[in-house]
Structure formats: C-alpha cells, structure tokens
Chain A
C-alpha cells in the first residue's frame, strides 16, 4: 500500500542531543500527525498539524507542517532515555478516510 518516506530510518544519539526527522510524500495532505510507538504497544499520538506552515510544540517536541503540504518535520530537543521508540508520521486528506503512515524512524538514546 501507499506509504510516506521517513528519514532517517534509525538514529543512535547521546542523551541530551537534539533529534530531527522528516517525512515526505508525493501527495498533499490536509493533516499531518506524529506518533510514537513503544515496544509492545500501539502508536500514541504526539502532535497533530492542520495547516500548511503550522509549527506546534508539545513539551520538548516540535513539529511543522510543510508549506507545500507534502512534508512534515519533527524535532526533539534535549533527548532523554525514554524518548527511545519508533516515531511515525501520518498524512490525512479530508474526505478520503485514509491515514497514510510513514515507514518509521527508530530512535535509540545512549545514556
């Protein structure tokens, strides 16, 4: 099925470092979502973006809805060990009922 391209696929970083990841699509979306998945659990919503150019923060997390509506970015500042997990982006186009998910970025934080 259709998927979004996320990069990087995986990251190893030191505790305290900042993290950046992005998601790109060949299609435009009305909504971009970012989820985090911990081992053995389902993805949990982190941030939702509804307007091109929108910049939204949730604690140490900041996400942006790209101007072209074909991309989105997630930044994590001052990473901590509990940030470990898989981060997924998802795009949604109104009226389609479909949420298209990215391939995921696997984050590992070294203490």
Chain B
C-alpha cells in the first residue's frame, strides 16, 4: 500500500501565479479530503469528495480556490491567483466508508 501520494512536496511561487496541488488517494478509498494547516488556524477542512463528487466545499476560502476529482485515483486543488496569505501546508487525505483518514505528507506552499 503506497499510501496517499501528494505532489509536489514543496512549492514556492510568486503572488498572482496559479498553483496546482495534486493527490492520489489510497486505492479503493471512496472519500477524499483536502485540508490546510497553519500555525494560527490548525487543520482546516477545505473540501471533501465522496465517490468523486464534491459533497461540501464550504471550507474553501474564496473563489480563487477550486478542486476537482476527475476519477477515483486523482484530485487537484488549484489556487488562481495565489496570494501570500495562502502560504500553508496543504494535506490530502482519503478514507473508505467512514474508516479513519489516511493523510499524505502534504505540500508546503510558499507564496512570495
């Protein structure tokens, strides 16, 4: 079991640029979650998918953020345009039918 795979591990970009974060969930898991972690706000749920369908995106901070899950093995989180306050660690996690979440190792995003 390869676990949840996220890429890139680190991303440094300039304000205004588009950023795309990628996630491959554990094979067989049907729920996928995107979280953002900062010192000030801890782990925040941004959006989650069930069977590839977005169920709740109320945690997405602004229209600059969008997420897709075109198939059961791939999801993206896009920020366009990026801003310095978007700097954080972004985690993807997956689960099956309410089983405990399994997290990837995150993408550390720095927007200058």
Contact = CB atoms under 8 A, between A and B. Distances in A.
A110 interface: no
Interface residues of A, number: 24
Interface in A22-51: 31, 33, 35, 40-45, 48
Contacts of B103: 35, 42-44
B104 A42 contact: yes
A90 B4 CA distance: 19
Residue of B100, B102, B103 with most partner-chain A CB within 10 A: B100
- For this complex, into which size category does the number of interface residues on chain B fall? 20 to 34
- SS class, residues of chain A in contact with chain B: strand
A87 B53 CA distance: 30
Contacts of A42: 4, 91, 93, 103-106
B28 interface: no
A43 B4 CA distance: 12
A103 B33 CA distance: 18
Given A3-B42, A42-B93, A101-B42, 15 more contacts: A1-B44, A1-B59, A33-B101, A42-B4, A42-B91, A43-B43, A97-B56, A97-B98, A98-B45, A98-B48, A98-B56, A99-B33, A99-B45, A101-B43, A103-B42
Interface of A: 1, 3, 31, 33, 35, 40-45, 48, 88, 90, 92, 94, 97-104
